[in-house]
């Protein structure tokens, strides 16, 4: 009897310790997130929302011809006390401005507060969706590790700092991933298409799933984009849409005039930074290096897309990373889209893909090769992140080491 009693007491104590441990972890994560968000919100640099608010005003005052007028926009920004940004302007599709123009009816400060509330709420929901979809069958500590990473994730904090819209893209992509893994591809395609309407580069998600012949998703995404274009025409007219398409290349080119990394941490921006710091090669050689690497990366991603027996978490990870890798301009906030890959690398599941060696009856697992593909893609993103180190040291803001630590930790924790 005493033995049974002592065992029961031990079990109760064990459960109590586990409960206390979970409460401590959750409290620590909430405090970390609150501290990080507070540091970002109390900064005075919310410049990107200024560009958004200008576009909202152009819709409300029926002056869409001014939406992409660089000189008028710069004058408006200076008049409203925003810091000078000579190579920045509103570069998003006109539908984005139209959908969010209701914020323009509020005073600038009030609209910014609502934008911040939407940003924080959507980010929390996005993290929960990714954890639910990707880490559902993994152990609790892996989920806690992912949430801990997300709570102090540099790209999101930077997005909140400048009040950009990457939280919105992440929310739509995370919701799309949730529905895709739940086998509701039509809804997922609509969400990916909507993300592309708000910010062009997420269209790469549809291209990746097109390689996988997931036609329901691709077609619903295309229909979503075409519907958005028609809504833009009926709402704002054809002129602003034609203007945006005509000026798109010059808009991107102007944004890239700040130079390579750390501002532009895309593949090309990273190569430009490395060349300037170490070799100072001809720009033609730099372009050649970029093209060669991009071709190799493309072939690898195509190979990954053809692995039909790998679970969908793997493919959503590669697809979300592809949006960053092919973007001509990648800033710190854009890297919120690495979260699906980080979550996947924290999973404990194994693949069931096998192949047979010739003349050998035993089967060998090829999953390590597939995971190496993802590691290579993550290595590229890590290299991009490392290009930020000069800025990190200059600013002396420790949380900006977060992205590098995220990728390194994810790789180490999932090594077999």
* pLDDT for 23: 74
* pLDDT for 383: 53
Rg from Cα positions in the chain? 23
In this prediction, residue 362 has a pLDDT band, given cuts at 50, 70 and 90, of very low
Q: What is the mean pLDDT of residues 252-262?
A: 67
In this prediction, residue 53 has a pLDDT band, given cuts at 50, 70 and 90, of very high
Please measure the distance between the N-terminal and C-terminal CA atoms of the chain and give it in whole angstroms. 45
pLDDT tens for residues 147-182? 887 877 777 878 888 888 888 999 999 999 999 988
Indicate yes or no: pTM above 0.75: yes
| Burial of 221 (C-beta count, 10 Å sphere; 0-12/13-18/19+) | buried
pLDDT tens for residues 286-317? 778 778 878 887 888 888 788 776 778 888 88
Residue the block writes with tokens 């990457």: 166
**Cross-strand bridge partners of residue 354:** 365
In this prediction, residue 205 has a pLDDT band, given cuts at 50, 70 and 90, of very high
Category of 397 on φ-ψ map: left (φ > 0), alpha (ψ -120 to 50) or beta:
beta
Report the range out of 7-16, 35-44, 166-175, 269-278 with the highest average pLDDT. 166-175
Query: Distances in Å between the alpha carbon of 54 and those of 50, 90, 249, 257, 260?
Result: 6, 8, 21, 22, 27
Report the range out of 146-155, 197-206, 391-400 with the highest average pLDDT. 197-206
The number of CA neighbours under 13 Å toward the Cβ of 178 is: 15
Percent of the chain with pLDDT over 90: 18
Distance CA(287)–CA(293), nearest Å, equals 10
Indicate the angle between helix axes 47-60 and 108-134, nearest 10 degrees: 110
Q: Is the pLDDT of residue 369 over 80?
A: no
Residue the block writes with tokens 């990728």: 407
Q: What is the mean pLDDT of residues 378-396?
A: 49
> Backbone phi, then psi, for 261, in 5-degree steps?
-60, 145
When comparing pLDDT for 379 and 266, which is higher? 266
Q: Is the pLDDT of residue 380 over 80?
A: no
In this prediction, residue 216 has a pLDDT band, given cuts at 50, 70 and 90, of very high
* pLDDT for 404: 47
Q: What is the mean pLDDT of residues 254-275?
A: 68
Report the range out of 37-46, 72-81, 223-232 with the highest average pLDDT. 223-232
Least confident of 31-45, 50-64, 196-210: 31-45
């Amino acid at each position: 009897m005493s033995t049974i009693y002592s065992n029961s007491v031990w079990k109760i104590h064990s459960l109590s310790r586990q409960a206390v441990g979970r409460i401590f972890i959750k409290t620590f994560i909430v405090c970390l997130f609150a501290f990080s968000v507070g540091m970002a919100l109390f900064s005075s640099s919310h410049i990107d929302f200024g560009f958004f608010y200008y576009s909202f005003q152009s819709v409300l005052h029926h002056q869409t011809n001014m939406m992409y007028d660089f000189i008028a926009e710069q004058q408006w920004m200076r008049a409203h006390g925003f810091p000078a940004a000579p190579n920045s302007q509103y570069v998003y599709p006109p539908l984005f401005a139209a959908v969010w123009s209701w914020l323009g009816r509020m005073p600038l400060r009030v609209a910014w507060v609502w934008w911040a509330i939407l940003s924080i709420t959507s980010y929390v929901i996005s993290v929960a969706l990714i954890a639910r979809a990707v880490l559902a069958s993994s152990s609790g500590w892996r989920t806690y590790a992912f949430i801990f990473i997300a709570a102090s994730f540099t790209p999101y904090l930077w997005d909140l700092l400048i009040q950009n819209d990457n939280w919105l893209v992440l929310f739509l992509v995370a919701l799309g991933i949730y529905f895709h893994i739940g086998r509701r591809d039509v809804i997922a395609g609509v969400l990916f298409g909507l993300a592309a309407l708000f910010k062009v580069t997420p269209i790469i998600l549809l291209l990746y799933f097109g390689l996988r012949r997931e036609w329901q998703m691709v077609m619903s995404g295309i229909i979503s984009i075409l519907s958005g274009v028609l809504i833009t025409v009926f709402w704002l007219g054809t002129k602003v849409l034609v203007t945006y398409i005509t000026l798109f290349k010059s808009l991107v080119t102007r944004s890239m005039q700040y130079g390579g990394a750390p501002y532009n941490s895309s593949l090309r921006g990273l190569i430009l930074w490395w060349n300037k710091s170490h070799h100072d090669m001809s720009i033609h050689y730099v372009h050649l290096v970029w093209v060669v690497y991009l071709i190799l990366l493309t072939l690898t991603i195509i190979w990954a897309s053809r692995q039909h027996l790998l679970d969908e978490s793997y493919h959503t990870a590669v697809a979300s990373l592809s949006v960053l890798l092919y973007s001509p301009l990648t800033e710190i906030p854009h890297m919120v889209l690495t979260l699906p890959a980080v979550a996947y690398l924290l999973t404990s599941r194994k693949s069931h893909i096998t192949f047979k060696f010739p003349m050998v009856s035993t089967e060998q697992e090829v999953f390590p090769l597939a995971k190496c593909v993802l590691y290579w893609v993550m290595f590229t993103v890590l290299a991009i992140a490392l290009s930020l180190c000069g800025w990190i040291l200059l600013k002396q803001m420790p949380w900006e080491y977060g992205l590098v630590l995220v990728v390194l930790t994810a790789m180490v924790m999932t090594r077999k």
